[in-house]
Amino acid sequence: MSALWDRELQDTSHAFNLSRQLEIRNSPQLFHHPRVHTALSANEAVLKSVFDASLQNWLYGATIELTQSASTPPWSKDTWSFVPLDSQVTQEAASGLNSTGRNITFETPAIRARLECSIVDYASNKSAWLVETDFGNKTAWNRTNAPAGLDHGYYLNDLAARGPGLRTVACCANETQQGFGDAVVGYWTDTSSSTIPLSMQAKWIVGRPLNESYTQSPTVHGGIAYDRWIWPEAPQIAAIDCAPIIEQAEASIIVDFETGLVYDYEILGAPQNATNAWTDFYFYHGADTSQAAHWQENITTR
């Protein structure tokens, strides 16, 4: 009498109930922001609280993943983040099973944030961002503040050079032994101040400016003298308008419950716009005057 045994790896499935402790937050979060004696803006006060330098923090971990090719943060994959289960509860539920498996499949809410962008056609409308100036105009320029040997030139208009709440653009040149080369100005500005969600516009300006800025006469701008970067030839510009989109959906995921590593996922149904993410968006709730020297403004955000 004889027997032949064969050993091979197999997947085994077990079903068990899990209690959920976490969910996507729908109520606004309150932050205290010093009204005086601080250089922090409301945005910085909030971001300082939520953007801590920890790989367990999704914002920080995702940034490191994108910029340094680091591993994906736990409980996330691709552009989605998934509401996790408490690992201790999961392990206790699985401990009664006669198995060494660590992977579980379950349904959980998913959320993602992305930018929806479109190209802005600035090339066909130079006057929207560029000013052609005549250095022979003695009202705006004179011998001491105009480029020598140049009759005409170009500079960025106030909206392009500053934008809402943006300071004057600083420029740098690609300097080589043969002289100054092309310079690139890249920056972004808010394109809406009251519409929620806010949108932003990113601009890239490429050309060969002169190697120093020139001060325009203060009579041009009501007594304010502006430094201008001058281009002898009109530079080129590319721009995109972007709006932040936050979406939610139900998902089925396969995850290592000890590490939070998501092996695979399936989005169940069409993602829905999470409009509640923009309610109480940086909304001020008055000041706490209990400390007269340092009033605290209460800010809510999702």
Q: Write the single-letter amino acid at 52.
A: D
Q: What is the pLDDT of residues 76-121, one digit of tens each?
A: 898 899 998 876 656 665 565 555 567 888 899 999 988 899 998 8
Q: How many residues does the chain have?
A: 302
- Out of 49-53, 97-101, 135-139, 171-175, the most confident range is 135-139
Q: What is the pLDDT of residues 231-252, one digit of tens each?
A: 999 999 888 989 888 899 999 9
Judge whether 76 and 55 are in contact, CB under 8 Å: no
Omega cis (within 30) before 197 = yes
Q: Write the single-letter amino acid at 117.
A: C
What DSSP element (H or E) covers 32?
Answer: strand 29-34
12, 86, 254 from 94: Cα distances, Å: 13, 13, 15
Residue 294 — very low, low, confident or very high, per pLDDT cuts 50/70/90?
very low
Mean pLDDT of 150-179: 66
Residue ranges per structural domain of the chain: 29-114+245-301, 128-191+204-236
Judge whether 253 and 265 are in contact, CB under 8 Å: yes
Judge whether 209 and 183 are in contact, CB under 8 Å: yes
The pTM (predicted TM-score) of the whole model is 0.67
Res. 155: pLDDT tops 80:
yes
Does residue 97 come out as left (phi exceeding 0), alpha (psi in the -120 to 50 range) or beta? beta
What DSSP string describes 46-93?
A: HHHHH--S-TTSHHHHHHHHHHH-PPPPTTEETTEEEPPPPHHHHHHH
Q: Write the single-letter amino acid at 121.
A: D
Kindly provide the residue ranges of all beta strands, DSSP E only, lying in the chain, ordered along the sequence: 29-34, 76-77, 80-82, 103-120, 130-134, 152-156, 175-176, 179-180, 183-190, 200-207, 213-215, 227-229, 236-256, 262-273, 283-288, 296-301
Phi, psi angle pair for 218, to nearest 5°: -65, -15
Res. 267: pLDDT tops 80:
yes
